[in-house]
Structure 1
Amino acid sequence: MVANRLLLKAREGGYGKRSSRSKKWKEMLKLPPVSKCSELRHSIEKDYSSLCDKQPIGRLLFRQFCETKPDLNRCIEFLDAVVCACQVRATGKMYACKKLEKKRIKKRKGEAMALNEKRILEKVHSRFVVSLSYTYETRDALCLVLTIMNGGDLKFHIYNLGNPGFDEHRAVFYAAELCCGLDDLQRERIVYRDLKPENILLDDRGHIRISDLGLAAEIPEGETIRGRVGTVGYMAPEVINNENYTFSPDWWGLGCLIYEMIQGHSPFRKFKEKVKREEIDRRVKKDNEEYSEKFSEDAKSICKMLLTKNPEQRLGCKGGGAAEVKQHPVFKDINFKRLEANMLDPPFCPDPHAVYCKDVLDIGRFSIVKGVYLDTRDEEFYATFVTGCVSIPWQNEIIESNCFKDLNDSGTEEDFADDLEETSCPPIQKPKRGFLYWLLKRLGCLSSIPSEKKEELRRR
């Protein structure tokens, strides 16, 4: 109870409630001037899609550019400097921290898996997949700082809040968001391979995100992969048989999830049923799932099409990918354009005063790893893993926490113009401006004064 109360108290002290920022805070978070970013500015490709679409601060600046119409060259110069200035700074935003114990990684020879998860999280920027914001290390662990998801996981919601399962409307909404998440992953040539309720998390509003990408893999264009990885009862037949595949296991996993959300247990094992792994694998490869009256005809249809044993005949694997899954009649009431734009309200909104897990203290509890010793050879791996912040999530944090607005308001057009001059001209001694000039500027009176009078005021 104490741990849960502390969590709720921390959650209520949101980063967006600060009405003002101190001078010391602004100095700590201050972005470097454009003149200090010349090397970075020249190394960045001047590409519209990257600077003005993919980069969050770039999108914001481009909107401001369209509204105020400043000089385009100055806007791009400023954009380069801000996008480059991705250094870790405290803004007060809450995150989730995933700790990978160093000794456990070494004992299980999991260095490649840890680096793989970090690399994929850095590559994928989707509203339906958790985002990696920072990485750092402690004496005992490597830490991934991720999107905080206060609503708990789907397994807790399916089995611990009333009767097992959801009504079909809620299950279809989550399935639609999962389609979007898988679509974003597959666009980056990534197969997830571990779709199950424990790995699907809810945020404060009730939207879902895919988490735990440790088993995900990148598939080169035109190639296939093999690997018997995943969770028992959710692995597709081709994975169990160790056959080659591309993205088919994820569409099978989506079928398992839709079935479980509606029925209240997985397709090939009833809730709390004790059965050996070999028997579950046999059921997956040979048996057909059973449907109760909880399923509408459309829900039954999509589950059967996604749980087709032959991957070549499975929905989503016939050449259309996510697009053919989205066209299924079960999604007839889902506007995917509005869903992807975050314009649809979820069917369930988590209570901000509730903790959606059995016990906060259970999170991240591990047994002590004995007999494993860390040495200097491990440092190379740690240095590769711990690389600080990730640009796009950091930019989103700066915008969402109003830091960008505060920092942007603290400068002036004249300061920025002076800074740009420094990038192209040798430093010159600028004349000091008198008190009268400063006072008139503050009162907004300089716009009506002729330029020759302004020069006279500067000298005074």
Structure 2
Amino acid sequence: SQRVTYKTFRQYRVLGKGGFGEVCACQVRATGKMYACKKLEKKRIKKRKGENMVLIEKQILQKVNSRFVVSLAYSYATKDSLCLVLTIMNGGDLKFHIYNMGVEAGFDLERAVFYSAEVACGLECLHNLGIVYRDCKPENILLDDHGHVRISDLGLAVEIPEGDLVRGRVGTVGYMAPEVIDNEKYTFSPDWFSFGCLVYEMIEGQAPFRARKEKVKREEVDRRVKEQAETYSDKFSDDAKSICQQLLAKRPQDRLGCSAGRHGAEVVKQHSFFSSIKWKRLEAGMCTPPFMPDPHAVYAKDVLDIEQFSTVKGVNLDTNDDQFYQRFNTGSVSIPWQREMIETKCYEELNVFGPGNTPTNDLRMDLPPPPEKRGCFNFTRKKRR
């Protein structure tokens, strides 16, 4: 119930940058728990009319509680920024690993299958809540310290009421489904197309419709997505080629997972590409990842290479913005907060009747020790002035 402010945390090094500001490591002073703090600059939000997008991301993150999607633990505001305190993912993103960590780009099939399975579980969680993600790509899939992956950056996600359709030409060029490019109505089909692009890129070492660093106009990439069939090298097994072909079908009605609505993940998970996955163990976090990040390595661009944000000019904040800030600045999120208390053993320390302190009829055990036996701490109340 305590108010959460910037003083709740210690701030550490910059980890990267987002659309509205930088992302840095932070630590809760009271418990020592590490998180990632995503800072959204107020003036930058206002200049780009991003209030609705920022609020939707915060509200969606608050609803999701999955080991395959980054969790929101706290949200608070400073004078200049709105801050989302999220699960820290020290292992870098899949794009970095695909292109920078091997002799040649891409993963072996075992690793691609494992990451694909965990991402499919993340999409399943979102779809079950009626949320379409709309931005599934390697940059948005992050590794934790143990080698598990989570979906991040839900800025383009939207909640679809039961039985409704949405429309919106949003996403990343080369990963957007044909129905998104054509601005048609849809439900969850774009996520399965983008997921197909992700699986393809992990195996091939390049995206299906645009080579890495290829200079090509957006219109040409969109044309390829809508009209051109992807090609497959000998890196693909029969099962890998099969699932990619079914996920990258141009028409939603022909695409794997799209006929089952919110339950499309169940169909995708039954594909023979995932025959080695024991789903119950994976969902419980009991499967050993094929790659373990080195705790001493930094799996990201050099911080010095991260572009500095320019100063936003010509934008003034006023009292009309306060209502939006109040809806954003809601403090701690209950389930991640409870998990933090358990993981950091704070709950045991706060619990009067913890191990060895079973209640008795001796009422004196509930009383605090006298001041002289409290070490360097003095708990006596100050007199009111």
Question: Same fold by TM (over 0.5)?
Answer: yes
The code of the aligned residue for 2:229 comes to N
> What residue in structure 2 maps to residue 370 of structure 1?
313
Alpha-carbon contact 2:70-2:150 (below 8 Å) kept: yes
Instruction: State the Cα deviation string for residues 42-63 of structure 1 (Å, max 9, x = none).
Output: xxxxxxxxxxxxxxxxxxxxxx
Map of 2:207 onto structure 1: 266
User: 1:272, CA displacement in angstroms?
Assistant: 1.0
Counterpart code for 1:90: A
Alignment counterpart, residue 194 of structure 1, candidates 118, 121, 135: 135
Deviation at 1:409, TM superposition (A): 5.6
**Code of the aligned partner of 2:257:** G
Distance 2:309 2:333 in 1: 28
Amino acid at match of 1:354: A
Answering whether residue 53 of structure 2 is matched by residue 108 of structure 1, we say no
2:95 is matched with which residue? 155
- Give the counterpart of 2:223 among 282, 304, 310: 282
Corresponding residue number in structure 2 for 1:224? 165
Using the TM superposition, give the Cα deviation of residue 365 of structure 1 relative to its aligned residue in structure 2, in angstroms: 3.6
165-174 or 359-368: bigger deviation: 359-368
Q: When the two structures are aligned, how many residues end up with a matched partner?
A: 340
| CA shift in 2, pair 1:7/1:354, >3 Å | farther
Cα distance per residue 1:112-165 (max 9 Å; x no partner):
000000000000101000000001111111000000000000010011112111
Distance 1:257 1:384 in 2: 34
Could you tell me how far apart the structure 2 residues matched to 1:291 and 1:311 are? 21
Verify: 1:384 aligned to 2:327, yes or no. Answer: yes
Q: Which runs of structure 2 are paired with 1:165-176 in the superposition (5 Å)?
A: 165-176=106-117
Write the distance in 1 (CA, Å) between the matches of 2:141 and 2:308: 20
Deviations, residues 365-396 of structure 1 (Å, cap 9, x unaligned): 42211111111111111111111000000001
Which residue, out of 173, 180, 187, partners 1:239? 180
Number of the residue aligned with 1:131: 71
8 Å contact from structure 2 (residues 257, 267) kept in 1: yes
- Whole-Å Cα distance in 1 between the matches of residues 305 and 324 of structure 2? 29
Cα drift, residue 308 of structure 1: 0.2
Conservation of the 8 A alpha-carbon contact between 2:156 and 2:171: yes
Residue matched to 2:349: 406
Q: Secondary structure at the match of 2:258?
A: coil
Q: Which letter does structure 2 place at the counterpart of 1:386?
A: N
Matched, 1:396 2:336: no
Amino acid in structure 2 at the alignment position of 1:138: T
SS class of match (1:414): coil
Q: How does 1:301-340 map to 2 (within 5 A)?
A: 301-319=242-260, 321-340=264-283
Kept after mapping to 2: 8 A contact 1:99/1:364: no
| 2:130 counterpart of 1:185 | no
Q: 2-side partners of 1:433 and 1:227: how far apart?
A: 65
Identical-residue share of aligned pairs (%): 69
Counterpart amino acid of 1:369?
V
Would the alpha carbon gap of residues 210 and 188 (structure 1) be closer, same or farther in structure 2, given more than 3 Å must change?
same
Give the AA of the match of 1:93: K
**CA–CA separation in structure 2 for the residues paired with 1:432 and 1:160:** 64
What SS does the corresponding residue of 1:382 show, helix, strand or coil? helix
1:81-125 deviation line (CA, Å, top 9, x unaligned): xxxxxxx97211010000111001000110000000000000010
Q: Once structures 1 and 2 are overlaid, which stretch shifts more, 397-406 or 93-102?
A: 397-406
Larger Rg: 1
Q: Which amino acid aligns with 1:202?
A: L
Give the 3-state SS of the residue equivalent to 1:222 in structure 2: coil
- Find the aligned partners of 2:313 and 2:281 in 1 and give their Cα distance: 51
- Tell me the distance in 2 between the aligned counterparts of 1:173 and 1:223: 33
Secondary structure of the structure 2 residue equivalent to 1:103? helix
- Whole-angstrom distance in 2 between the partners of 1:7 and 1:352: 17
Q: C-alpha distance in 2, partners of 1:181/1:140?
A: 32
Looking at structure 2, the residues matched to 380 and 113 of structure 1 have their Cα atoms a distance apart, in angstroms, of 15
Distance 1:286 1:144 in 2: 40
Deviation at 1:236, TM superposition (A): 0.2
Any gaps of 5 or more consecutive residues in structure 1?
A: 9-13, 16-87, 419-430, 439-460
Higher helix share: 1
Quick one: distance in 2 between partners of 1:217 and 1:249? 12
Greater strand content: 2
| Residue matched to 1:446 | none
Q: Are 2:286 and 1:343 equivalent residues in the alignment?
A: yes
CA change 1:364–1:143 in 2 (3 A) is: farther
Aligned equivalents of 2:330, 2:62: Cα separation in 1: 11
